[in-house]
Chains A and B, each alone.
Chain A
Amino acid sequence: MSSLTPLSLLLEAGLFSATRPLTLEELGALDADSSSAEVRTALDQLREHYDFDGHAVEVLELAGGWQILTRPAYAAAIERAQAAQRQPRLSAATLESLATIAYRQPVGRAEIEEIRGVNSGGVLRTLQERGLIEVVGRSEGLGRPMLYGTTPYFLELLGLNDLSDLPRAEELTIALQPHRAEADPADGDAFASVEQG
């Protein structure tokens, strides 16, 4: 049983009390005397402590911060007991718009609709209401349309640390598959696709 340093214990208390990821600055505010390097070291110690001493929770780096989350193995039990509520899944149309915005941001509605080939006003509103996208500016074009970008909550929902965690365009395989691709949560691979001939 490893014993945690006072700073690690302080970080544990801070992370435990938060319902969202805390940034390095926020964690540093817990102890004014500690440098950010010391906070990072203490974070690593806390993470190792959870990993090696057998805990149901772990420290994860998310949306530019750190958060204590339960391990996936306990998800089914938690849901069965209704100890926590699952976020509603995003629809295919919502995910398409979100994907377009994530890669093209800042992007206007017209461009999103051009790419999707369908009216996207309602979907954009849903995304905005769920806090996944926000207006990040206005285009210089005619009518100065609003430009959208993703929020930190978008990264949180996808479990990403920052936008560079999204697959790069050249990593994507444009594959011609006999059947419509469907999300398979059990599949660990990001993409299982056939190379284009």
Chain B
Amino acid sequence: MTMSLDGAEGDLGQGSGFVVALDGFTGPLDLLLHLVRDEQIDIADIHVARIAEQFLKAIHALGLNQAADYLEMAGRLIRLKAQMLLPRRFDDEFWEDPRTELVRRLLEYQQVKEIAVWMSRQAERRAQRYARGVLPPPPSALPPLPLSLDLLDLLLAVEQVIAEIPSPMLHSVVARPLDVESATLRLEALLADRTEFDWREALGNHPSIVDVLSTLLAILELAKRGLCRIQQTAPFGNLVVARELVDAAVAAP
């Protein structure tokens, strides 16, 4: 089964833009002609009841019973079948064969198909000859041809599009709790060693922002407990951590 999707039809299309071409049939007349030929009977002598039944069976089998053009033809055939069943008098001069219109259309359509075949051969023959460069392009710049694809192409395209959607950006937040305890230990060790020092000495090598914050909190905690004093000699100057004198006095008996 092939499906040709004709999108927006612009000024040409007011009807449905969805054209279904199945198993090589270009329309209901094509299918009907095919059935008549299979019967090997003269078009003018078409057996309506049988052809109508075959037509319905065929469009059902091909899944065409959804396509408007085929349904319309099915309706015509059923009406024609009913008309053929109506009783008539033998001497009815005004009786008109209800099949006339259908036969005329079928013959006309058959002629169109015959010309189409002739044209196809003709184009094929012409295509055997090449002009300089490529074949002359159609006049003026033209929009691309309407989309024509089968179900597999469509599914592949959908898969491709889905694959190209970037997965949402996820930031994993890692909890990095402040390590005030070890900062306090470092400070106490320094205080035990010296009477005062630059607070930055307590940071260690390559301090991270967490180390800086931990150390600051540790200094404030020690100051609050009265274990050290914080001095700043100038605005925005360095903080100097000094051993608390009271503490020193207590420590020194």
Contacts and interface: CB of A to CB of B under 8 A. Distances in A.
Interface string B113-133: 111111111111111111111
What size tier do the contact residues of chain B reach?
Answer: 35 or more
A178 B40 contact: yes
Contact of B133 (A19, A86, A166, A184): A19
A85 B6 CA distance: 26
Nearest to A18: B132
A115 B4 contact: no
A159 B132 contact: no
A23 interface: no
Interface in A162-180: 166-167, 169, 172-180
B122 A68 contact: no
Residue of A124, A156, A158, A191 ringed by the most chain B CB atoms within 10 A: A158
A54 interface: no
A174 B115 contact: no
Interface of B: 4, 6, 9-17, 19, 21, 24, 26-30, 34, 36-38, 40-43, 68-69, 73, 105, 107-136, 138-140, 142-143, 145-146
Contact of A118 (B29, B34, B118): B29
A181 B121 contact: no
Contact of B13 (A85, A122, A169): A122
A127 B55 CA distance: 30
Given A117-B27, A117-B109, A128-B12, A85 B134 contact: yes
Contacts of B142: 129-131
B118 A122 contact: no
B116 A117 contact: no
Given A119-B69, A182-B117, A183-B121, A75 B130 contact: yes
B115 A84 contact: no
B155 to A, nearest CB: 22
Interface residues of A, number: 79
A72 interface: yes
A169 B108 CA distance: 11
Interface in A89-103: 89-90, 92-93, 95-96, 98-100, 102-103
A146 B11 contact: yes
Those 8 A-B pairs whose CB atoms lie nearest each other, nearest first: A131-B138, A118-B27, A122-B6, A159-B126, A121-B13, A183-B120, A72-B128, A95-B116
Nearest to A109: B12
Contacts of A70: 129-131
A99 B17 CA distance: 22
B107 A174 contact: yes
Contact of B139 (A60, A131, A176): A131
Contacts of A92: 24, 26, 116
Given A146-B11, A178-B40, 8 more contacts: A87-B135, A92-B26, A118-B19, A121-B12, A132-B138, A180-B24, A183-B117, A185-B125
B3 to A, nearest CB: 12
Contacts of B115: 99, 102-103, 166-167, 172
Contact of A172 (B28, B114, B123, B132): B114
Contacts of B41: 176
Contacts of B138: 129-132, 153
A131 B145 CA distance: 11
A40 interface: no
A95 B115 CA distance: 8
B27 A20 contact: no
